[in-house]
C-alpha cells in the first residue's frame, strides 16, 4: 500500500472511531476530551496532516481535500452529540439512568402495632364523645385500690399480684386510677377513656409484667346497662367488623355492680368455631366467641369515694387489654412478638 492510500484510509477510519467514542461519552467533559484527542493541535487528524509533505506533490491537493472533509465531518458529529447531551441535561436526564430499574425505597419508621391500636380505639371513642385522659404510672394505694373498692386485705393487693414501690406507692395495676382522678376534678356529665401502661407481677406465655390497657367510663343521670351495651357494640363493630356480634356474660369486678364480660363473635372463623378447611379454630377454641372486655355499672361505693351522690348519678365503666385486641385484629398468636421488637414483625405494620 502506498502512502496516499495509507493516509486516506487513516483519515476515513477516524470518522467511525470518533463516532464510537462519542456515543459512549455521557458528559460534556468527555466530549471535550475526545475533541482534543481527535481534533486538537497534536491530535490524530493533525498528526495525519503533518505527513502531507511526504506525498508526491501531485497527490497532495486530493488528500488535503479529503482531510478537510473529514475535519468538517468530525466537527459535525461532535456538535450533534453535544446538542443531544445538552438536551438530556436540560430535561434533568442522565444518560446512565435506567428508568426501568426498580426504585430503592428508603427505610421508613412505622408505628408499633400497640400504638396503632391505641390510636384506632381512641379515635372511635373520641367519635362517640369521650375525652382522653392520662396520668402517673406510679400511683398511690388510694387511687389504685382504696377508691376502687379494693380495701386493705383484698387479694388483688397481694405482693404476688402487684409491684410495690413503697408500702403505699405501687406501679398502677390498671388505668382506673385516672378515672377516679378525673371524677374528683370534674362533675358529671362526663365520659373519658384512659389508655396507658399497667404493671402486674405476672410473667409467662400469655402474661407480661407490663401491658397496655384502655379503660373507659361515662357518668350522668339515668345511665343504664343498655347505654353500656350500645356503646360497646358500636365500638366492637368499628374496631373489628361491622357484622360482629356481641354478647354479655355475668361476671364480677370489685368496682362495678352488676359486672359483665363481653365476648365478640370470633373474627377468625366468623363465629363458626371451624376454619374454612373444617379444622377447629384455635382463636376461639371452637366456641365461636372470644372475650375482649370487662365492664359493668360503676359501684355506688366508688361514687361515694369521689363525692358523687349515688342516688343522683349512675355510670358505666369498661376495661380492655390493648395487646389482646391487637392480636385478634391482626391475627398475632404470640404475645411476646409485641416486646421483642423484631424488625421483620414491626415492618408488617408500616
Ligand atoms: C378488664 C376489666 C374493667 C373497669 C375496668 C372501672 C373504673 C372505675 C370504676 C369502675 Cl373508676 N370500673 N373500670 C370496670 C370493669 C371492668 O376492666 O378485664 N380489664 C382488662
pLDDT at position 1 is 64
Cis check: omega of the bond before 258, within 30 degrees of 0: yes
302 lines ligand 1 (CB under 6 A): yes
157 pLDDT higher than 80: no
The pLDDT value given to residue 242:
95
pLDDT value at 153 more than 90: no
Burial (CB count <10 Å: 0-12, 13-18, 19+), residue 210: middle
Residue among 183, 207, 256, 297 to mutate when testing ligand 1 (max atoms within 8 A of CB): 256
Percent of the chain with pLDDT over 70: 98
Say yes or no: CB of residue 143 within 6 Å of ligand 1. no
**E strands present in 58-140:** 131-132, 138-140
pLDDT of residue 159: 67
List, in order, residues 6 or more apart from 15 with CB less than 8 Å away. 70, 73, 74, 77
pLDDT, tens digit, 9 for 90 and up, residues 267-304: 888 899 998 888 898 888 889 999 999 999 999 999 99
User: What is residue 95's predicted lDDT score, i.e. its pLDDT?
Assistant: 60
pLDDT tens per residue across span 57-112 = 999 999 999 999 999 999 999 999 999 888 877 777 666 777 888 888 888 888 99
pLDDT (mean) for 105-123: 92
Q: Is pLDDT above 90 for 39?
A: yes
- How many angstroms is it from 97 CA to the middle of ligand 1? 61
Predicted local distance difference test score (pLDDT) of residue 16: 93
Q: Check whether 148 has a pLDDT greater than 80.
A: yes
Tens digits of residue pLDDT in 177-224: 999 999 999 999 999 999 999 999 888 888 899 999 999 999 999 999
Neighbours of 160 (CB within 10 A): 10
| Cβ(196) – ligand 1 distance below 6 Å | no
Categorise residue 104: left if φ over 0, alpha if ψ from -120 to 50, beta otherwise. beta
Q: Which residues contact 298 (CB under 8 A, 6 or more apart)?
A: 217, 219, 255, 256, 314, 315, 316, 317
Residue 261 — pLDDT band, cuts 50, 70, 90? very high
Q: Any idea which residue has 377447629 for its cell?
A: 280
pLDDT score for 93: 64
Q: What distances in angstroms separate CA 280 from CA 133, 205, 275, 288, one per listed residue?
A: 41, 22, 6, 10
| Dihedral pair phi/psi, residue 12, rounded to 5° | -70, -35
3-state secondary structure of 342: coil
Q: Choose one of 200, 214, 252, 253 to mutate for the ligand 1 pocket test, by most ligand atoms within 8 angstroms of C-beta.
A: 253
| Residue length of the chain | 350
The larger pLDDT score, comparing residue 316 to residue 3, is at: 316
Domains contained in the chain, CATH given: 3-90 (no CATH), 113-349 (3.30.930.10)
Ligand 1 and 215: CB distance under 6 A: yes
Ligand 1 centre and the CA of 314: distance in Å?
15
Q: Is 318 a pocket residue for ligand 1 (Cβ < 6 Å)?
A: yes
pTM: 0.71
Strand arrangement, sheet containing 314-321? 131-132, 190-199, 210-220, 314-321, 289-298, 256-265, 246-253
Q: What's the gap in Å between 237 CA and the centre of ligand 1?
A: 20
263, pLDDT greater than 90: yes
Higher pLDDT pick, 282 / 252: 252
What's the pLDDT score for residue 68?
93
Determine the distance from the C-alpha atom of residue 316 to the mean position of all C-alpha atoms in its chain, rounded to a whole number: 34
144 close to ligand 1 (CB < 6 Angstrom): no
Cβ-based neighbour number of residue 187 at 10 Å: 11
H/E stretch holding 191 reads strand 190-199
- Please report how many Cα atoms fall inside a 13 Å half-sphere around the Cα of residue 37, on the Cβ side: 14
Q: Which atom of ligand 1 is found nearest the CA of 298?
A: 10
Phi, psi (rounded to 5 degrees) for 336: -65, -25
Give the CB-side neighbour count of residue 139, counting CA atoms within 13 A: 27
Interatomic CA distance for residues 32 and 22, integer angstroms: 10
Distance 259 CA to ligand 1 centre (A): 9
Which residues are CB-contacts of 340 (< 8 A; sequence separation ≥ 6)?
none
CA of 244 to the centre of ligand 1 (A): 22
Nearest ligand 1 atom to alpha carbon 261 = 18
The mean pLDDT of 316-321, rounded to a whole number, is 97
Residues 226-233 have a mean pLDDT of 97
- The residue whose CA has the least distance to atom 18 of ligand 1 is 294
Q: How confident is the model at residue 349 (pLDDT cuts 50, 70, 90)?
A: confident
Q: Tell me if 146 sits within 8 A of 180, measured CB to CB.
A: no
Question: How many angstroms is it from 215 CA to the middle of ligand 1?
Answer: 6
Amino acid at each position: 500500500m502506498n502512502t496516499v492510500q495509507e493516509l486516506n484510509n487513516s483519515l476515513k477510519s477516524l470518522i467511525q472511531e470518533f463516532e464510537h467514542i462519542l456515543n459512549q461519552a455521557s458528559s460534556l467533559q468527555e466530549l471535550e476530551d475526545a475533541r482534543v484527542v481527535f481534533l486538537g493541535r497534536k491530535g490524530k487528524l493533525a498528526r495525519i496532516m503533518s505527513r502531507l509533505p511526504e506525498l508526491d506533490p501531485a497527490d497532495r491537493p486530493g488528500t488535503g481535500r479529503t482531510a478537510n472533509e473529514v475535519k468538517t465531518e468530525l466537527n459535525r458529529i461532535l456538535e450533534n452529540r453535544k446538542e443531544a447531551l445538552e438536551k438530556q441535561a436540560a430535561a434533568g436526564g442522565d444518560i446512565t439512568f435506567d428508568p426501568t430499574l426498580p426504585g430503592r425505597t428508603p427505610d421508613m419508621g412505622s408505628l408499633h402495632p400497640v400504638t396503632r391500636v391505641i390510636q384506632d380505639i381512641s379515635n372511635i371513642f373520641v367519635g362517640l364523645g369521650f375525652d382522653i385522659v392520662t396520668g402517673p404510672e406510679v400511683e398511690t394505694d388510694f387511687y389504685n385500690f382504696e377508691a376502687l373498692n379494693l380495701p386493705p386485705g383484698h387479694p388483688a393487693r397481694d405482693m404476688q399480684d402487684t409491684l410495690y414501690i413503697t408500702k403505699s406507692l405501687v406501679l398502677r395495676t390498671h388505668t382506673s386510677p385516672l378515672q377516679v382522678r378525673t371524677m374528683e376534678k370534674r362533675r358529671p356529665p362526663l365520659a373519658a377513656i384512659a389508655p396507658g401502661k399497667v404493671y402486674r407481677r405476672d410473667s409467662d406465655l400469655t402474661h407480661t409484667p407490663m401491658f397496655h390497657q384502655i379503660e373507659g367510663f361515662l357518668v350522668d343521670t339515668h345511665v343504664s346497662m343498655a347505654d353500656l351495651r350500645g356503646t360497646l357494640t358500636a365500638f366492637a363493630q368499628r374496631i373489628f367488623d361491622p357484622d360482629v356480634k356481641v354478647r354479655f356474660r355475668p361476671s364480677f369486678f370489685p368496682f362495678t355492680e352488676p359486672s359483665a364480660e363481653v365476648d365478640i363473635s370470633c373474627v377468625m372463623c366468623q363465629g363458626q368455631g371451624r376454619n374454612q378447611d373444617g379444622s377447629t379454630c384455635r382463636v376461639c377454641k371452637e366456641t365461636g366467641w372470644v372475650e375482649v372486655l370487662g365492664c359493668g355499672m360503676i359501684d355506688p361505693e366508688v361514687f361515694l369515694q369521689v363525692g358523687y351522690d349515688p342516688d343522683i348519678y349512675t355510670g358505666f365503666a369498661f376495661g380492655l387489654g390493648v395487646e389482646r385486641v391487637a392480636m385478634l385484629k391482626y391475627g398475632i398468636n404470640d404475645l411476646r412478638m409485641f416486646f421483642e421488637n423484631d424488625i421483620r414483625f414491626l415492618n408488617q405494620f408500616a
